């Protein structure tokens, strides 16, 4: 697929970006560039995402994209990855904004997600020429593009100093609405959200509230259809033949999982493993294994434990 250069004078250049401070002179793009001039909402959050954050990033991304609105994020691990993945789940579209050039996809483990976005009719853009390597400066700078492309920014979770807060700051400066999920005052992942709420961000508890404020149609997913409440349904489908094993003193029950997750699930039934160990045993790329582990963790099949290992999650 050939990289397309879009200059400010070109018709394809998104009008929304012309209004940001220091709009990029050139965009490098792959995929469905028509998305750049259609309504979109940014979903951002922590790289080291909590279970709470992953749960609602999946739910809101699915609801937004299912309402024919593109989801914008930054292709980072954590909340960004979940937002992109679940935007695509029901044929929804997503836009990824890179903090590097196309020859240096970062993080490397998200290369599979990079390909999936393009295969599913999404768009990936960067203001950096293809050979540009990522550094500590390129990512905060690119966040103005994430905010600029969006009609609103949804911050799932953010620590005291975070890229998500920077994205929200750009949006607030442009007069765009910023929405935050509620967090406990003791939650380190909620410090950034609580600070943004003090500065005028809007509290969000369900996806339809986005639609009410923005005067667009956004439907809440029925909780039984939600990715993160599926485990309640799966309790009803536990196989009659049960197998138990001990993981960090937790008894886990063998349950039925979708076919694509079975190889990883059965490996973890016998012992805890890291993603690298799983990749070696299954002879699959580490990028693929990381994507599968992220989805399985969201679905409630597995959980991460100290030592960067994964175990089956107890019922």
pLDDT of residue 14: 97
Q: pLDDT at residue 212 above 70?
A: yes
Same domain, 216 and 259: no
CA distances from 290 to 85, 94, 274, 312 (A): 13, 20, 10, 16
In CATH, what number is assigned to the domain containing residue 37? 3.40.50.450
pLDDT of residue 176: 96
Q: pLDDT at residue 32 above 60?
A: yes
Same domain, 154 and 201: yes
The Cα–Cα gap between 256 and 52 comes to 24
The string of pLDDT tens digits covering residues 88-118 is 987 899 999 999 999 999 988 899 899 999 9
The string of pLDDT tens digits covering residues 37-49 is 999 999 999 998 9
Last residue in a domain, options 221, 240, 275: 221
Closest C-alpha to 145, from 129, 124, 131: 124
pLDDT of residue 47: 92
CA distances from 261 to 2, 209, 215, 255 (A): 33, 34, 39, 12
Same domain, 67 and 168: yes
pLDDT of residue 234: 36
CA distances from 98 to 37, 125, 127, 167 (A): 18, 6, 8, 14
Same domain, 93 and 79: yes
């Amino acid at each position: 697929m050939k990289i397309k250069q879009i200059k400010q004078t070109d018709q394809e250049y998104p009008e929304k970006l012309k209004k940001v401070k220091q709009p990029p002179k050139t965009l490098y793009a792959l995929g469905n560039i028509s998305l750049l001039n259609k309504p979109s909402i940014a979903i951002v959050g922590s790289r080291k995402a909590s279970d709470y954050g992953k749960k609602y990033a999946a739910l809101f991304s699915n609801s937004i994209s299912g309402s024919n609105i593109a989801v914008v994020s930054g292709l980072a691990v954590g909340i960004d990855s979940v937002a992109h993945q679940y935007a695509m789940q029901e044929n929804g579209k997503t836009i990824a904004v890179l903090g590097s050039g196309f020859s240096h996809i970062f993080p490397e483990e998200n290369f599979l997600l990079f390909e999936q976005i393009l295969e599913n009719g999404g768009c990936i853009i960067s203001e950096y020429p293809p050979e540009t390597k990522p550094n500590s400066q390129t990512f905060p700078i690119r966040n103005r593009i994430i905010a600029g492309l969006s009609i609103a920014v949804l911050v799932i979770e953010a620590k005291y100093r975070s890229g998500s807060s920077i994205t929200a700051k750009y949006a607030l400066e442009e007069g765009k609405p910023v929405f935050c999920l509620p967090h406990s005052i003791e939650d380190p992942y909620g410090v950034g959200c609580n600070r943004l709420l003090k500065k005028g961000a809007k509290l969000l508890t369900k996806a339809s509230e986005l639609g009410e404020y923005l005067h667009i149609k956004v439907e809440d997913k029925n909780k039984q259809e939600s990715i993160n409440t599926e485990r309640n349904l799966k309790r009803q489908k536990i196989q009659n033949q049960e197998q138990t094993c001990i993981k960090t003193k937790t008894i886990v029950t063998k349950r039925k999982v979708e076919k694509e997750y079975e190889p990883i699930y059965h490996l973890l039934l016998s012992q805890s493993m890291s993603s690298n160990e799983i990749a070696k045993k299954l002879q699959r790329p580490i990028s693929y294994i990381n994507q599968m582990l992220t989805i399985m963790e969201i679905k409630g099949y597995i959980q991460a434990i100290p030592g960067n290992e994964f175990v089956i999650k107890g019922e």
